[in-house]
Amino acid sequence: MGTKKPVQKLRKSKKYAIGAEHETGGGRIRILDRFIQDGEIMLRYMNLDTRQDVVNKEVNVNRLVYDYQQKKKVEAFEEIIVNHKPEILLEGPPLVKDPGALVDQVQPKEEEISVLKDEINYLTEIISSLKDEITSLRGEVTTISENSSELIKKQFALIEKLVGK
């Protein structure tokens, strides 16, 4: 790694203060001491599960704590996914005891649908007829407009003849 500057002065640390406890993959640890050794910040901690005293670099302990936290997040997420059971409603329409009654219920609906189809067809024919009439009226309006324009031109020509005399 190489060019890392050695630590000269130890600053206060809330995270690794003496007495602070952290969870790691190897168990719960309690910080006993924090000091500088060969330009590196070192931690002396006790594994509360095994009661063993350990000395390690702060960066290594930080990594152990971080890795454990990430592992716990993944496990929690996996548990959510594995234990997630979507609700499936197994209810359906009530069973029909008498199919004949069902046919009797459908019969009037079919008749209503048939009547509505006939009404729709009738209204469609009326709309088509109205469209044809509108097209015809537009043609007549165009003819009237053209004739009106011709008449206006003839009137102006007559007025000019009368005034011009």
Q: Is the pTM of this model over 0.75?
A: no
pLDDT of residue 17: 93
Does the pLDDT value for residue 93 go beyond 70?
no
The more confidently predicted of residues 64 and 89 is 64
CA-CA distance, 12 to 10, in Å (whole number)?
Answer: 7
The more confidently predicted of residues 23 and 93 is 23
Question: Which DSSP symbol is given to 8?
Answer: -
pLDDT of residue 53: 95
pLDDT of residue 2: 58
Please list, in sequence order, all residues whose beta carbon lies within 8 angstroms of the beta carbon of residue 69, skipping any fewer than 6 positions away: 23
DSSP string, 57-118: EHHHHHHHHHHHHHHHHHHHHHHHHHH---------SPPPS-HHHHHHHHHHHHHHHHHHHH
Condensed to tens digits (0 to 9), the pLDDT of residues 133-158 reads 999 999 899 899 889 989 999 998 99
Q: Are 30 and 75 in contact (CB under 8 A)?
A: no
What mean pLDDT is reported for the chain? 87
Does the pLDDT value for residue 31 go beyond 90?
yes
Does the pLDDT value for residue 1 go beyond 60?
no
Averaged pLDDT, 73-86 = 74
Condensed to tens digits (0 to 9), the pLDDT of residues 102-141 reads 777 778 888 888 899 999 999 999 999 999 999 999 989 9
pLDDT of residue 149: 87
Does the pLDDT value for residue 47 go beyond 70?
yes
Residue 36, SS3 per DSSP = strand
The more confidently predicted of residues 100 and 9 is 9
Confidence band for 84, pLDDT divided at 50, 70 and 90: low
